[in-house]
Amino acid sequence: MIRVGLAGLGAAARMVLPIFEDIDGFELAAAADVRPDAREGFSKSYGRPAFVSIEAMCEAARVDAVWIETPNELHCEHALTAVAHGKHVICAKPLGVTLDECERMIEAARAAGVHLVQAHCRAIDPPVLAMRDLVRSGKLGQAIQIETSIHNDWLQRPRLAEELDENVGGGVLLRQLPHQVDIVRAIADSPVSEVYGVTGRWDPAFASDGNYVGLLKFANGASATIAFNGYGWFDTTELTWGVDGLGKRNKVARPASVRRTGTLSASEKYAAAPSQTSRAGRSFAPIFGQTIVSCERGSVRQSPAGLLVYDANGRHRLGIPPNLGRRAELLALRQAIETGERPFPDGEWGRETLRVCLALRESARTGKPVAL
């Protein structure tokens, strides 16, 4: 039994808490949050202790691993605290706000002999893994071009000021771009060698980027284009059979008649934010935007029931494993503990994804490509 302590009981935690209800071999043992009402609500709902700090949780509760879902700027500090107490760490993306933070987390975990797992990583979505494996098989030849794009209402959702502040790890370049970078990195299966990016701020109500386009070159000669638009005028689920990144079939979102005009206080956000669940185990594969992979002898894209492959034999479908949702991070940790091998995705993976995100931001500011 692996006992897990959850650090952070905000909106992101609502996608993590339900997975402990039906997964064998793991126990939700405790939680930590600075807000008294959050701690009280957790203890009342789950019958487990809640602490004001990760340090207090690690010292007083029997936990083997700490799952970090705290604000981005606190990931490094909280991971180092958990590692100092000999706990494995599952840390939400981005791993850190700077590459130096990532290095400190990786080195600390290595020195302590514990595992560091990158959480909320689209590289382990079943369709992405299936596309990666298809490319690795060589049946379609080498991947030469990957296109991934998503339109949603990210900037129109309830947001705290810090969620949009790049200085503390906020904004779309550190909260949405990592998902897309994880997707193309996994499929290309090659280091990124060069990044060119363009960003935009086209909503006068927010002093934050709301869209970006990136061009990535890989060491093996493949390239990828990444596009994101979070202004809420169009939703990509209209192109993906109504299935979203959680594997849930939704009614296609339409533009809101009343636009948000700024950020919210913490109390306003938690009152406005919808209750979220992991929705793991649903019948649909998660589709985070639209991804098309072009190879030497064919192309492939996602569908709710699997992959659609286009080659010399026409169009045919390939099945994929069921959607594990956020359970995948726990299973990656368990496998690493049992085998002694590095988990996937690990701290190094998270660091390299952040490197690409920071390079795209630098390129957008300078107007020049960034070599990695």
24: amino acid identity, one letter:
D
What are the residues whose beta carbons fall under 8 Å from the beta carbon of 204, sequence distance 6 or more? none
Percent with pLDDT over 70 in the chain: 97
pLDDT per residue as tens digits for the range 236-252? 999 999 999 999 887 77
Quote the pLDDT of residue 316. 96
Confidence class of residue 202 from pLDDT cuts 50, 70 and 90?
very high
In this predicted structure, the answer to whether residue 256 has a pLDDT above a threshold of 70 is yes
In this predicted structure, the answer to whether residue 158 has a pLDDT above a threshold of 60 is yes
Confidence class of residue 277 from pLDDT cuts 50, 70 and 90?
very low
CA angle at 65 for the pair 129 and 322, rounded to the nearest 5°: 25
In this predicted structure, the answer to whether residue 271 has a pLDDT above a threshold of 80 is no
Structure pTM?
0.95
In this predicted structure, the answer to whether residue 276 has a pLDDT above a threshold of 80 is no
Sign (positive/negative) of CA torsion 342, 20, 124, 180? Answer: negative
Quote the pLDDT of residue 270. 73
**What would the mean pLDDT of 199-228 be, rounded to a whole number?**
97
| Mean model confidence pLDDT for the chain | 94
Across the beta sheet with 50-51, what order do the strands follow?
Answer: 50-51, 26-32, 2-7, 65-68, 88-92, 116-119
**What would the mean pLDDT of 327-339 be, rounded to a whole number?**
97
Confidence class of residue 272 from pLDDT cuts 50, 70 and 90?
low
Q: Report strand pairing: 143-151 vs 223-229.
A: parallel
In this predicted structure, the answer to whether residue 349 has a pLDDT above a threshold of 90 is yes
In this predicted structure, the answer to whether residue 4 has a pLDDT above a threshold of 60 is yes
pLDDT per residue as tens digits for the range 90-144? 999 999 999 999 999 999 999 999 999 999 999 999 999 999 999 999 999 999 9
Quote the pLDDT of residue 274. 56
DSSP code per residue over 49-82: -EESSHHHHHHHS--SEEEE-S-GGGHHHHHHHH
Let me know: does 201 contact 209? Beta carbons within 8 Å.
Answer: yes
Confidence class of residue 210 from pLDDT cuts 50, 70 and 90?
very high
Angle between helices 126-137 and 177-188 (to 10 degrees): 30
**What would the mean pLDDT of 258-270 be, rounded to a whole number?**
86
Closest C-alpha to 325, from 92, 121, 117: 121
Quote the pLDDT of residue 266. 81
Quote the pLDDT of residue 306. 93
Q: Return the biggest CA–CA distance within the chain.
A: 61
